[in-house]
Amino acid sequence: MTAGVGLRAIGAASRVYAKLVAESTVVTALSPARPRRHVGYEFDAIVDGIADEAVDVKSFLLRRTENRPLPTWLPGAHIDVTTPSGALRQYSLAGRPDGGAHYRIAVRRILGGSVSEEMHNLSGGEVLRIRGPRNAFPLARARRYFFVAAGIGITPIRAMIERAAEDGAEWSLYYRGRTRESLPFLAELEQLAQRSDSRIIVETDDVDGLASAADIVGYAREGSAMYVCGPAPLSSALRGEAMRQGNVREFHTELFTPAAVVDGMPFTMHLSRSGETVAVGAQETALAALRRTRPDQPYSCRQGFCGACVVGLVAGRVEHRDRVLGDEDRNSSIAICVSRAAADGDVLVLDL
Ligand code: FES
């Protein structure tokens, strides 16, 4: 496959993905804002400012309703936002973690996307329900960074760049989009690059045509820590290319979709309250198996870090694969989106 064909395939897959997320009522229906168990912060926030950042992109400043301080966060963090209509979406926090009384998020309007449309129609003073922040894309300290952002993927990357610049690290950014006018925060980032003697490579479809993953990775200086935020097909093409070229020291990307089950073994769940028995296959999660008969079983991240899917554990040996439960909680709870029975054929008794 040629580089151009490869990038066209990535583009096509990304469009299908965006369309699915935008148009599917299932996305909202399957992510209800009803965590079974409270983990982290949850509060109301007022829309305190709205700005046009680029074509079809608006940013929103959010302030806590009771004027209490906002929970602190680190670059790469995101929040769950429940819109006035009840839809739930995750948005990365942009800007500086020490941004005082406000969070800033940015939303691209997606053609046919009812939730992005609803967000773009918000007015100042409206109230959103916030949960988080959580961080599934943390920034590790490094001497040299190479960031890659595609369009709205700049949101978490911008916070990372602010931190890298503050730490005096060397950084460069490859920033890709349809047109220059479609790239949010570009002017601020160019100013920051000038101040910190760093480099931004901007390439757009209308001027530069298609780029290859090899070209993009080729911009990384030797020994860089590489952070990518963009559509999953782009991220995986860049990961493969980074491994092939060997010029980056580490590779990080934000996971928008849960990873496949690795080393899974079949087991059984017994639901102590209802008396049901649910078989879990080797390649599926306990959550997926449970949702066949209980489609309203709550969840959010499906990656073991938000706590929305946590249920009580009555008996059974668990292989805990989450990052949300403490040691003590693990005796009596399980995050069913990732954790499983410890051995082949085991039975877990859940408080359901
Ligand atoms: S859905 Fe987030 S921890 Fe399971």
Residues 150 and 111 reside in one and the same domain: no
Domain boundary among 253, 275, 308: 253
Q: Does 22 reside within a domain?
A: no
- What is the whole-number distance in angstroms between the Cα of residue 158 and the centre of ligand 1? 26
> Tell me: the pLDDT tens digits for 208-267?
988 899 999 999 999 999 999 988 788 889 999 999 999 999 999 876 566 778 888 999
Same structural domain, 284 and 186 = no
Choose the weakest-confidence range: 61-75, 83-97, 220-234, 295-309: 295-309
Q: Is the CB of 305 under 6 A from ligand 1?
A: yes
Q: How confident is the model at residue 17 (pLDDT cuts 50, 70, 90)?
A: very low
CA distance 56 to 50: 13
Order of strands across the sheet that contains 170-177: 199-204, 170-177, 144-150, 224-229, 248-253
Quote the ligand 1 centre to 329 CA distance (angstroms).
15
What does the alpha-carbon distance between residue 192 and residue 188 come to, in Å, rounded to a whole number?
6
| Domain with 314 in it | 267-350
Residue 173 lies in a domain: yes
**Same domain membership, residue 180 and residue 145:** yes
Q: Give distance in angstroms: CA of 304 to centre of ligand 1.
A: 4
Would 51 be classed as within a structural domain?
yes
Strand segments, DSSP code E, in the chain are 42-54, 57-64, 77-82, 88-92, 102-108, 127-135, 144-150, 170-177, 199-204, 224-229, 248-253, 267-271, 277-280, 310-315, 318-319, 333-335, 340-341, 347-350
Averaged pLDDT of the chain: 85
* Ligand 1, atom nearest to 301 Cα: 2
Q: Is the CB of 234 within 6 Å of ligand 1?
A: no
Cα–Cα distance between 57 and 51 in angstroms, integer? 9
CATH number of 70's domain: 2.40.30.10
Ligand 1 nearest-atom number relative to CA 302 = 1
**Residues 249, 142 contacting (CB under 8 angstroms):** yes
Domain tally for the chain? 3
Strand partners, 297: none
Question: Is residue 67's pLDDT more than 90?
Answer: no
Note whether 47 and 65 are same-domain residues.
yes
Domain membership of residue 33 (yes or no) is no
